[in-house]
Amino acid sequence: MRIVITGANGSVGRNLLAHVAKDAGIHAVATVRSERAAAALPARPLLDVRIVSSDDADGLARAMAGASSVVHLAGILIESRSATYERANVAATETAVDACRLASVSHLVLVSALGADPESANRYRRSKGAGERAVEQSGLDATIIRTPILLGPETAGAAAIMRAVSGGTARLLGGGGYLMRPLDVDDLSEAILGACRRRLPGVHVHELAGPEPVSYRGLIERVAGLTGRSLAYQSVPIWGAKLAAAITSRLTGGGVTPTVIDVITTSETVQHNADRELGVSLTPLSETLGKLVAAWRNAA
């Protein structure tokens, strides 16, 4: 099996490559946008790294030649002056679809987000929905996997949790009562590779969430308990955080915006968890958190 992974230097991409490395039957091509990103990837047999701009459909198509599946991971939650939702979540997906067609690759896996909806009032969710629509209308066979917050040693969500437990006081938006369905990034990687192996005809949109709903505060308390730290908790009003984010993001041209705060503080809900359809045995949350804390201790 030959697969091409876009956005391969991101947290999901690096985890996926670690899973690929365990299967001698997979030849992977990782596409990244810069030398710096290429340097973040392991050098090993059966892994080719190509530096290609995400708006270069011809260049991507050359990297995709002979692939059985493309896994499109490029995408963002946090915008910057150079990376907007329109560019990173919509246009980059459209270009990946064009490249698949040019390279005659018939199967695409798209990692999307819970709540993705082209009609959403939230700009992030709307852009994820528009990316999904580009895939759904492409004529390609596709597996779209909508994910909640991802937890693994290198994910942004895990980094935020470890930052929160590393100080004496955890400052929680709105008291942290919103519910999350954290998914172990190892489970997502298994789901992606399973979809690449099966390459089902048609378009399949799945939600894949972790096995246990937990409030954000509950998550912080459990991780703090595992690290042996006792924390004080301070509630930050969501309206105040949004006002501050509106001002700073306007000045800096990106970062945390009211849109991001809405995404973070809305409870993650799942209509139907597709762990069985995707052939994944979900990792218990306690095990996922244990892995996070072990990685944090090793890095200290």
Ligand X SMILES: NC(=O)c1ccc[n+]([C@@H]2O[C@H](COP(=O)([O-])OP(=O)(O)OC[C@H]3O[C@@H](n4cnc5c(N)ncnc54)[C@H](OP(=O)(O)O)[C@@H]3O)[C@@H](O)[C@H]2O)c1
Residues that bind ligand X (CB under 6 A): 7, 9-13, 33-34, 37, 54, 73-77, 83, 87-88, 92, 111, 113, 147, 149-150, 155-157
CA–CA distance, 53 with 50 (Å, rounded to integer): 10
Structure tokens at 191: 């789901």
Q: Which of 124, 74, 121 is nearest to 97 (CA)?
A: 74
CB of 232 to ligand X, least distance (A): 27
CB of 96 to ligand X, least distance (A): 9
Where do we find the tokens 């995707």?
278
Q: Are strands 214-215 and 150-151 parallel, antiparallel or unpaired?
A: unpaired
CB of 230 to ligand X, least distance (A): 27
Q: Which is nearer to ligand X, 11 or 288 (CB)?
A: 11
Instruction: Give the DSSP H/E element, type plus range, for residue 28.
Output: strand 27-32
Q: Which is nearer to ligand X, 68 or 84 (CB)?
A: 84
CA–CA distance, 118 with 131 (Å, rounded to integer): 8
Where do we find the tokens 């290198």?
154
CB of 229 to ligand X, least distance (A): 23
CA–CA distance, 196 with 177 (Å, rounded to integer): 37
CB of 23 to ligand X, least distance (A): 20
Q: Which is nearer to ligand X, 59 or 235 (CB)?
A: 59
Q: Which of 1, 6, 22, 46 is nearest to 196 (CA)?
A: 1
In the chain, the amino acid numbered 117 is D
Q: Which is nearer to ligand X, 160 or 243 (CB)?
A: 160
Q: Which is nearer to ligand X, 178 or 235 (CB)?
A: 178
